[in-house]
A and B are shown apart, each in its own frame.
Chain A
């Protein structure tokens, strides 16, 4: 008899080849792809390149001096800098250090950033892991909703989260309002605890998602086999479940650490320069136009985060990929009290305070003025008056929406053409895929600096001075940041379009373009819409590049205006306007979430 698996294999091979050629021919996808590459070259690779080049040149000549200067500066690398500058002195220094009784070692800016990221990661694990346990172990009404809601914090604009935390935990926040009833008060505003809490808020759901997804790949029969072989329940869990979940958990921890390491808006808004991290310092240096120093820092930061990302990818690949035919059954959460159920309920209360608290405080703050219900804060958003920090609220709101529309209009064709062309197999396609997805891995601040230097300040080309305006650069940066999400949403649907469907349309008389329009496009439409909604949300919340590019109030977006409000002490006790704008951001993001969720889109990067 003919081996059918070989038939299937050869058919698949044939299919992959003809599909790649067939679809790429369509819509002149190659033309759109080339256009996308040009756009990326102009608004990403060239600008980022000009920044990074600054780290490797001195006075126009190639040089490692700027990088070396940064590496050996104790301000950045603490004790390590001294060791690098003069390796011979290390033994002596260690002896001295031992003699002095092991005093605290200076860790420098990188050390502090790592420390902060470590705290944030610990917080994310402390909150995220129990959450994963509850979601994996218990069944309760609304479980699926909670599970899908765990993606929301991840896509909320970070600066809005900062506003939420200020209205909740700030000096005049909701927490102190409650505490003042019993005559107490806490002051956590603009300090390490509130930054760590906000980072936890942001990344704990990521840990939860990674772990829950991994537990769903555990086959109940493996656990049952262990039990029938004599393992007690706890032992079966340790021997069967833990090894399957561990790689995903470690991958989650690593990626959270990377995100925390690069965290920018939260640290800037809630910590200020007193809690400066590498990313904040890059921004600060760039604001003072100390580009070589900023570039050196950016290169070193990228080296660290890319190395960690590489490890993450290696670890993630080890994780279970199979889906269990029968997953481990969950226990009803509601039922006679047991230790587990009580702990789960206690956890639910803490999670409620951590997650609903800041958002609810923000919405409440936006709806009140002077202790009574009022729409005054929203009226302020519509007013033409000059807000604090040179931000006109109306301009910020309309800018945000306008830029987002522009970014979506650019990101969708870019994303679709990249998804079509990189959809096939092969080394070249994988390479081009990686190069095209690189914007995800490079800090927005660096992109912003590059765009500012390369395009807004202008370049001289063939005797012409070419420059683009700030808003155009902002839209470009947002599109670059958003299009990978279009790719991520469209590519899986595209892969599921059977090659023979397009072939069938062709043999029935449709040309390549027509076949793409009639067959492929309707089948990937949900992905396109989800990707567009995603790009919209990304644009509306984008902070890192925008804050560099928005040089004056006329091109401020909502997140930038929010940061101005938060950092301006003259705003004083009146967080209302900021809260109102934060609420608008929340509504826009939530609307995007609903669109994506309805269309079964992918939020994960």
Chain B
């Protein structure tokens, strides 16, 4: 099933949560909504589920407008951030709950529940109370429960945020495995940009109730279209300057006293974005001298904070430098955004 949101708006009293969201999610896709808290990603998800009613705009399932269709009549499965398992029911009863309204056609409810528990590696746990489970197990039950009625759309609202880091990585892999196995159209909400980059077929960056950019993770990471996306997805050194153009194969951007060569034809006020991993002490282009302010050891390298004439610069380096260092970057590595 494909999803489409067209000009969806939602306000709470004076506070506007969504200011016209346009999105298309393809059939069978793992699609992620990522953005800072309050950006409207959860509201968007709830509009898809039917738990919120948009003030304006349309939500379409396979081209059919579902506005006004209550959640129980939409074929969606939702996994909530804090599991939302029914505490008065056992694991098995939780997973079976959705089947009360939508019994499986070819097999018994029992078999379907057993199948789902096996899918999420919880065989034999059916008789337990949710209270007796660990956080990771609860989230697996929540996933099994959402999937039991074989929904057309799976909606995941920060499903991993309540778990510790190691478990989060493990469940993330499992989640993508299950999703690929079933091929169900999935919308995943997270504030964690690294999670978004890791799991998605495509992702949308939301900010302040609007979609900033949509695309495949690599594309959005490598060619951000707005300064917000550049700074939000991964780390970035965003240097404001003026592009003066003139070179044969590119332009020149003046930042303070320095001039940097970049590709493409740019004029006027721009922001020049360079990833920390693109900063290089051995670079042959765009060299400038900066003072080491702080060094963090990350295991596989160092994150070094520089002071460059009052500007902060971050670089990922293999060795920890001291004192004054000459940095540089390749013109191809810089993303130039009009301001």
- Beyond A503-B84, A509-B72, A514-B72, 16 additional pairs, beta carbon < 8 A: A2-B37, A6-B38, A10-B37, A10-B38, A18-B52, A498-B82, A500-B84, A503-B49, A503-B78, A503-B80, A507-B146, A508-B101, A508-B146, A509-B98, A509-B101, A511-B70
Of the candidates A6, A18, A500, A505, the one whose C-beta lies within 8 Å of that of B97 is: A505
Q: Is B117 an interface residue, CB under 8 A from the partner?
A: no
- Contact A509:B102 (CB < 8 A) given known A14-B42, A18-B52: yes
Q: 0/1 per residue, B46-83, Cβ < 8 Å to A? A: 10011110000000000000000011101011101110
Nearest 6 CB-CB pairings of A with B: A509-B101, A508-B98, A500-B84, A7-B37, A506-B71, A500-B80
Q: What CA separation (Å) do A505 and B87 show in the bound complex?
A: 12
**Cross-chain pairs A/B with CB under 8 angstroms, 29 sampled:** A2-B37, A2-B191, A7-B38, A7-B191, A11-B42, A11-B81, A18-B51, A498-B82, A500-B81, A500-B82, A501-B86, A504-B80, A504-B84, A505-B86, A506-B50, A506-B70, A508-B77, A508-B101, A508-B145, A509-B72, A509-B101, A509-B149, A510-B97, A510-B100, A511-B70, A511-B72, A518-B86, A518-B97, A519-B86
- Contact A14:B98 (CB < 8 A) given known A507-B49, A522-B88: no
Q: Which A residues are CB-close (under 8 A) to B250? A: none
Q: Is B36 an interface residue, CB under 8 A from the partner?
A: yes
The count of residues in chain B whose C-beta lies closer than 8 Å to any C-beta of chain A is: 35
Q: What CA separation (Å) do A7 and B76 show in the bound complex?
A: 24
Q: 0/1 per residue, B211-251, Cβ < 8 Å to A? A: 00000000000000000000000000000000000000000
Q: Is the CB of B82 within 8 A of A507?
A: no
Of the candidates B37, B77, B81, the one whose C-beta lies within 8 Å of that of A507 is: B77
Q: Is the CB of A14 within 8 A of B101?
A: no
Interface positions of B from 148 to 184, Cβ below 8 Å from A: 149, 155
Interface positions of A from 1 to 58, Cβ below 8 Å from B: 2-4, 6-7, 10-11, 13-14, 17-18, 22
Q: Is the CB of A508 within 8 A of B149?
A: yes
Q: What CA separation (Å) do A2 and B207 show in the bound complex?
A: 13
Q: What CA separation (Å) do A522 and B146 show in the bound complex?
A: 21
Q: Which B residues are CB-close (under 8 A) to A503? A: 46, 49, 51, 71, 78, 80, 84
Q: What CA separation (Å) do A508 and B82 show in the bound complex?
A: 16
Interface positions of A from 483 to 515, Cβ below 8 Å from B: 498, 500-501, 503-512, 514
Q: Is A523 an interface residue, CB under 8 A from the partner?
A: yes
- A334 shortest CB reach to chain B, Å: 37
Q: Which A residues are CB-close (under 8 A) to B74? A: 507
Q: What CA separation (Å) do A512 and B70 show in the bound complex?
A: 9
Q: What CA separation (Å) do A510 and B86 show in the bound complex?
A: 13
Q: Which residues of B contact A (CB under 8 A)?
A: 12, 36-38, 42-43, 46, 49-52, 70-72, 74, 76-78, 80-82, 84, 86-88, 97-98, 100-102, 145-146, 149, 155, 191
Secondary structure call for the A interface: helix
- Contact A507:B78 (CB < 8 A) given known A2-B191, A18-B46: yes
Q: What CA separation (Å) do A123 and B139 show in the bound complex?
A: 57
Q: Is the CB of B86 within 8 A of A14?
A: no
Give the nearest-CB partner of B43 in chain A. A14
Q: What CA separation (Å) do A509 and B82 show in the bound complex?
A: 20
- B252 shortest CB reach to chain A, Å: 35
Q: Is the CB of B78 within 8 A of A504?
A: yes
Q: What CA separation (Å) do A357 and B146 show in the bound complex?
A: 61
- Contact A501:B84 (CB < 8 A) given known A7-B191, A507-B77: yes
Q: Is the CB of B72 within 8 A of A506?
A: yes
Q: Which A residues are CB-close (under 8 A) to B102? A: 509
Q: What CA separation (Å) do A3 and B37 show in the bound complex?
A: 8
Q: Which B residues are CB-close (under 8 A) to A506? A: 50-51, 70-72
Give the nearest-CB partner of B76 in chain A. A507
Q: Which A residues are CB-close (under 8 A) to B37? A: 2-4, 6-7, 10
Q: Which B residues are CB-close (under 8 A) to A4? A: 37
- A518 shortest CB reach to chain B, Å: 8
- B61 shortest CB reach to chain A, Å: 14
Of the candidates A6, A10, A514, A523, the one whose C-beta lies within 8 Å of that of B87 is: A523
Q: What CA separation (Å) do A367 and B235 show in the bound complex?
A: 85
- Contact A509:B88 (CB < 8 A) given known A3-B37, A7-B37, A11-B42: no
Q: Which B residues are CB-close (under 8 A) to A508? A: 72, 77, 97-98, 101, 145-146, 149
- B18 shortest CB reach to chain A, Å: 12
Q: What CA separation (Å) do A11 and B87 show in the bound complex?
A: 21
Q: Which A residues are CB-close (under 8 A) to B72? A: 506-511, 514
- A522 shortest CB reach to chain B, Å: 5
Most-contacted residue by chain A among B74, B84, B101 (CB, 10 A): B84
Q: Which B residues are CB-close (under 8 A) to A11? A: 42, 81
- A486 shortest CB reach to chain B, Å: 21
Give the nearest-CB partner of B87 in chain A. A523
Interface positions of A from 285 to 333, Cβ below 8 Å from B: none
Q: Is the CB of B12 within 8 A of A13?
A: yes
Q: What CA separation (Å) do A14 and B158 show in the bound complex?
A: 15
Give the nearest-CB partner of A16 in chain B. B12
Q: What CA separation (Å) do A3 and B72 show in the bound complex?
A: 33
Q: Is the CB of B51 within 8 A of A507?
A: yes
Give the nearest-CB partner of A3 in chain B. B37
Q: What CA separation (Å) do A4 and B158 show in the bound complex?
A: 12
